[in-house]
């Protein structure tokens, strides 16, 4: 959907031009007019997103025996539950309300985080009585997700500029924007097929030589609440990756945001050990 613009002529202090021009990089900020629009929107808080849902309901069967005692998202990484690292990054970028979608051993997550006040957050919970996949929890949280929100996989650690991602999402006007990370071997993942900034589809676990790119779903996205009503099934298990993204891509409403920061998928013993050794917290 094209964003309508109108011309505005303003008079400002001459010394401000140097500061405005200083944020023009020719890519994210294309020119002086774009820079001025970016700064106005930031000043008005128009691109700010304050809500996130974090998926922490999985059993973590590949990480047994550790997950016999703890839900996967509560496994420690450098002295903290891994989901706390995720929450701290969200908080840095202005997210103040978090919905935790709990299931397996969810009481241990609730006992640790409570209502979130000790972390300076407002934390709510939705409970999967039976596994609902990665999309089903959105249906449970519908009453909370009434504006743009982040959806985050709670067992993936990543560093990216969430504030810039918010701006990118609002600028492009899609229903969802997926943060895409680059991996050397994409054959284990869903690989994004791109047309400019649009994602036109994902190819699941392609052979290395047949992969259309090395960009994969990082486990973090921004969504609009319209998705829950129009794309999430009314009942049963559903997956964002297989049931929601392909339909959004077919409708031309799915965008991709590549980033270069740290990224760890902690789903196996090997990758969990790598995260423990190499993860660098922003705090």
> pLDDT tens digits, residue range 245-265?
999 999 999 999 999 888 988
pLDDT value for 266: 83
The CATH homologous superfamily for domain 51-278 is Spore Coat Polysaccharide Biosynthesis Protein SpsA; Chain A (3.90.550.10)
Q: What's the pLDDT at 212?
A: 82
The DSSP result for 18-33, as a single string, is HHHHTT--SSSS-SHH
Burial (Cβ within 10 Å: 0-12, 13-18, ≥19) of residue 91: middle
Residue 105 has what pLDDT?
Answer: 86
CA distance 79 to 221: 27
Instruction: Give the tens place of pLDDT for each residue, 8-60.
Output: 777 777 776 777 776 666 656 666 666 566 666 655 555 688 899 999 988 87
pLDDT of 45 reads 55
Of 201, 182, 189, 190, give the one whose Cα is nearest residue 257.
182
Neighbours of 26 (CB within 10 A): 8
pTM: 0.83
The CB density around residue 160, as the number of other CB atoms within 10 Å, is: 21
Beta bridge partners of 151: 53, 221
pLDDT of residue 1: 45
In this prediction, residue 4 carries a pLDDT of 64
| 205 conformational bin, left if phi > 0, alpha if psi -120 to 50, beta if neither | left
Angstrom distance (rounded) from CA 53 to CA 151? 5
Q: Which two tokens stand for residue 35?
A: 């820079």
Q: For the chain, which residues score pLDDT lower than 50? A: 1-2
Report domain extents, the chain.
Answer: 13-46, 51-278
């Amino acid at each position: 959907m094209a964003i309508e613009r109108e011309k505005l002529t303003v008079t400002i202090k001459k010394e401000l031009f140097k500061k405005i021009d200083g944020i023009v990089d020719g890519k994210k900020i294309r020119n002086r007019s774009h820079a001025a629009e970016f700064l106005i929107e930031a000043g008005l808080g128009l691109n700010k997103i304050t809500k996130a849902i974090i998926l922490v309901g999985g059993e973590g069967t590949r990480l047994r025996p550790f997950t016999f005692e703890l839900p996967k998202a509560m496994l420690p990484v450098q002295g903290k539950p891994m989901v706390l690292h995720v929450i701290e990054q969200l908080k840095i970028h202005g997210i103040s309300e978090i919905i935790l979608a709990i299931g397996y051993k969810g009481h241990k997550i609730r006992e640790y985080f409570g209502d979130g006040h000790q972390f300076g957050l407002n934390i709510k919970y939705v409970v999967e009585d039976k596994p609902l996949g990665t999309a089903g929890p959105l249906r449970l949280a519908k009453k909370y997700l009434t504006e743009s929100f982040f959806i985050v996989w709670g067992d993936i650690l990543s560093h990216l500029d969430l504030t810039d991602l918010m701006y990118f999402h609002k600028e492009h006007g899609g229903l969802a924007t997926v943060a895409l990370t680059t991996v050397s071997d994409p054959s284990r993942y869903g690989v994004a097929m791109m047309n400019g900034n649009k994602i036109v589809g994902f190819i699941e676990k392609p052979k290395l030589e047949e992969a259309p790119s090395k960009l994969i779903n990082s486990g973090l996205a921004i969504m609009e609440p319209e998705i829950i009503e129009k794309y999430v099934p009314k009942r049963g298990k559903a997956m964002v990756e297989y049931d929601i993204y392909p339909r959004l891509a077919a409708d031309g409403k799915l965008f991709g945001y590549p980033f270069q920061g740290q990224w760890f998928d902690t789903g196996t013993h090997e990758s969990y050990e790598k995260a423990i050794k190499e993860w660098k917290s922003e705090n």
